[in-house]
Amino acid sequence: MRLILTEIARETAVHKDARHVLSSETIVRMRDCLSLISARERELNTARGIKMTSRPKLGGEKTDSVRVQLRKPKPGIKH
C-alpha cells in the first residue's frame, strides 16, 4: 500500500506554483496513511529485533558506485 500511495504522489506531483489535482484534504489523508504504515513497520521490526537503519536515498547523494558511459565502436573497427 505504501508503494501505491507514493506512486500516486509521484504521478500527480505538480510544479511549485501550480494547483494540485488532488485536494489538500486528500493529500493530508495520504500523508496520514503513510505515517501509519511507517509506524506499523517500525512496530513489526522492533518486535522481530530488526533495527531500521536505512534511509531513503536522494538523487543528489554521493554513492560508492561509479557511472561509466559506454560508446558504440566506430564502424570498420573490429574488436
- Please state the pTM of the whole predicted model: 0.59
Question: Distance between CA atoms of 15 and 58, rounded to whole angstroms?
Answer: 19
In this predicted model, what pLDDT tens digit does every residue of 65-76 receive, in sequence order?
777 888 887 777
What pLDDT is stored for residue 15 in this prediction?
Answer: 85
Residue 17 burial (10 A CB sphere; 0-12, 13-18, 19+): exposed
**E strands of 1-79, at which residues?**
none
What pLDDT is stored for residue 36 in this prediction?
Answer: 96
Kindly give the interhelix angle for 2-11 and 24-48, rounded to the nearest 10 degrees.
150
Residue 58 has pLDDT above 70, yes or no: no
